[in-house]
């Protein structure tokens, strides 16, 4: 049975990750996280770190939609 977790960034829901036994897949809940739609991660912690890093880079202007 898959498990799902909400990924939050600064109190906002960025998306969810769904575990399938082979890792976790990200599904965006809002812009700008659409750029990460479908990304796969080895663990829920890896997903959270990647989304946080993406948000930080996006805020600093290093990533464009």
CB 43 within 8 A of CB 26: no
65 vs 17, residue with greater confidence: 17
What confidence tier does 60 reach under pLDDT thresholds 50, 70, 90?
confident
Confidence at 61, pLDDT banded by 50, 70, 90? confident
Helix (H) or strand (E) holding 47: helix 44-59
Q: Can you tell me the distance from the alpha carbon of 46 to that of 24, in angstroms, rounded to the nearest whole number?
A: 9
Q: Residue range 43-56: average pLDDT?
A: 96
CB contact at 8 A, 14 and 58? no
Please tell me the pTM assigned to this model.
Answer: 0.85
Q: What is the pLDDT of residues 33-45, one digit of tens each?
A: 999 999 999 999 9
Q: What is the pLDDT of residue 63?
A: 55
């Amino acid at each position: 049975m898959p498990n799902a977790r909400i990924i939050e960034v600064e109190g906002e829901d960025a998306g969810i990750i769904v575990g399938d036994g082979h890792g976790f897949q990200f599904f965006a809940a809002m812009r700008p996280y659409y750029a990460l739609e479908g990304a796969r991660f080895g663990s829920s912690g890896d997903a959270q770190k990647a989304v946080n890093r993406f948000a930080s880079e996006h805020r600093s202007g290093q990533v464009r939609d």
